[in-house]
Amino acid sequence: MRQILLFIWEVSKIVIIAMLIVIPIRYFVFQPFFVRGQSMEPNFHNGDYLIIDEFSYHFRDPLRGEVVVFKYPNNPSQRYIKRIIGLPGETVEIKEGEINVYDEKGIPQILDESDYLPDLKNTPGNLKIRLDKNDYFVLGDNRLFSSDSRRWGTLPEENIIGRVLIRAWPFTALAKIEVPSY
């Protein structure tokens, strides 16, 4: 009987230690996310299983081109996935199919997205929006079928959960997600 109790005690210690390690990592560092819908095709597909880095934005700001998961501003219980296009303080203009990003001094940059959207012909829409100091402009990669900042406005920084770090499923598409250069 004593050996059974010792065995149970040892197993319990291992379970408790594992929980003390895994639970904080799961809730404060990395989080799983399933892609739902086609708004991020061709880069992310319905059913893709992603690992979200929740930690790095405590030490640095999000970068243009990063794919982020966030709480949808109009219904925070929903989670969305989009790509950051405009940063705080910038002005984003979509006109005649092109995206122009103006820095705080008003100097324009035509956004070249050919690295991650090689078949993109143009971005539908006609708008010009100035971002406040804590706002981001996000777009889905599937520009024709994405509900994004063109429709519902800017993304407040506090709604960002984290950046997509790894695509873990399907296993044949396993990859670390890199930030494109502009």
DSSP E strand boundaries for the chain: 30-34, 49-53, 67-71, 79-86, 91-95, 98-102, 108-110, 127-130, 135-139, 155-156, 160-169, 175-176
Q: Which residues are catalytic?
A: 39, 82
Task: Please give the Cα distance from 161 to 72 (Å, whole number).
Answer: 10
Report which DSSP code applies to 145: G
